[in-house]
Structure 1
Amino acid sequence: MTAQQETRPHAAAKPVRWAADTVATMREGARVRLDYSAQSLWRVDRMIEEIRREGPPYAAVGNVLRGFGAYAGEVIVRQSGAEWWATGADHWVRTPDGRLWDPIDEARRVYDGHGSLRLLCRDATGAGH
C-alpha cells in the first residue's frame, strides 16, 4: 500500500481543504468566524437557511453547501476522533464506533429544509447523551 492509498490522508485531503476554504470565505466575506466548535454549527445551519430563503437555484449554491458540509464533517472529526472516508466523489465521516455519516449530504438536506448540521454533529459525537 502506498502513502497515496492510505485512507486518512487521501480521503481527508479534499474535505479538509473545502472546510478551510469555507472558514476563510466566511471570515473574509461575511465577517463570520467559524472555529470548528460544535456550537458554530448553529450559525452554519442559520446561514444555509438564509441562503434558502433568498431562493437561489441549487446549482448556484452546490459548492457552498459542499463547503459547509465539509466544515461540519471536520468539526465531527475534531470532536470525536473520527476520520474521513471517500469512495469516488463521495466523502463520509467514520466515527470511532464504526458508523458512517454524510455531512455534505446533510448540508444539502438543510438547504432543502429537512436537516441540521448541528444535530448531525450531536448525534455523531454522542454529545447529546
Structure 2
Amino acid sequence: MRGYARRFVADVTERNRLPLDFSVRSLRVVDFVLDGLRGSGRGRAEVAGPLFGFGAYVGEVLVRRAGAVWVDFDDGQRRFFGQPVGVRMPDGRVWSPLGKVVNRYEAGAEESLQLFYLTLPGRHAARTGDGRAEPEPARSR
C-alpha cells in the first residue's frame, strides 16, 4: 500500500497541484477534495478509484505520523470493515482508512478525516521527516 499511496499522490499532485505531503494538516485538504467529489453528485461506484487512492493516502499518513503499520485483514476483519487491508496502531487496534474515506464521502463533514486523526486513540505523536514532533494544527476556539 505504501507504494500505491506514493504513486497516487504523485499522479494527483501533478495533475491538480494538491498539497498532499503526508502531513496531518494535509488531511484537511483530503476532506475538502472529498466534499468536492460528494458535491459532484456522482455515485460511489463512479469515484471508487479516487476513494481507494485517498484511503491509501490516509493510511500512509497514519503510518508515517502515528506509528501505524499496514496489515492484511483476516477474514473476520474483511467482513467487518469491507476492505482487504488496514492499519494496526501501536496499541494494537486496527483501523480501516479505506473505509473511513468511503464514510467521509457518503456522510460528509461529520466524518472529517483530520478530526479522525486528531482524536484517534493509540497513536504516537506526529513526527516530521527528521524525527522532530510535528506541530498540531491550530484549533479554533
State the match for 2:93 in structure 1. Answer: 99
| Contiguous gaps of at least 5 residues in structure 1 | 1-14
Q: In the comparison of the two structures, how many residue pairs are matched?
A: 114
1:35-114 paired onto structure 2 within 5 Å? 35-87=21-73, 90-114=84-108
Identity %: 38
Question: C-alpha distance in 2, partners of 1:86/1:62?
Answer: 20
More helix by share: 1
| Contiguous gaps of at least 5 residues in structure 2 | 75-82, 126-135, 137-141
State the match for 1:34 in structure 2. Answer: 20
State the match for 1:21 in structure 2. Answer: 7
Q: CA shift at 1:45, angstroms?
A: 0.7
Amino acid at match of 1:71: Y
Calculate the aligned-residue CA RMSD, in Å. 1.8
Q: CA shift at 1:126, angstroms?
A: 6.2
Question: C-alpha distance in 2, partners of 1:18/1:66?
Answer: 10
Moved more, 24-33 or 43-52: 24-33
Question: C-alpha distance in 2, partners of 1:75/1:22?
Answer: 13
**Normalization by structure 1: what TM-score?**
0.79
Off by >2 Å, runs of 4+ in structure 1: 123-128
Q: Is the alpha carbon distance of 1:17 and 1:60 closer, same or farther for their aligned partners in structure 2, counting shifts above 3 Å? A: farther
Q: Secondary structure at the match of 1:112?
A: helix
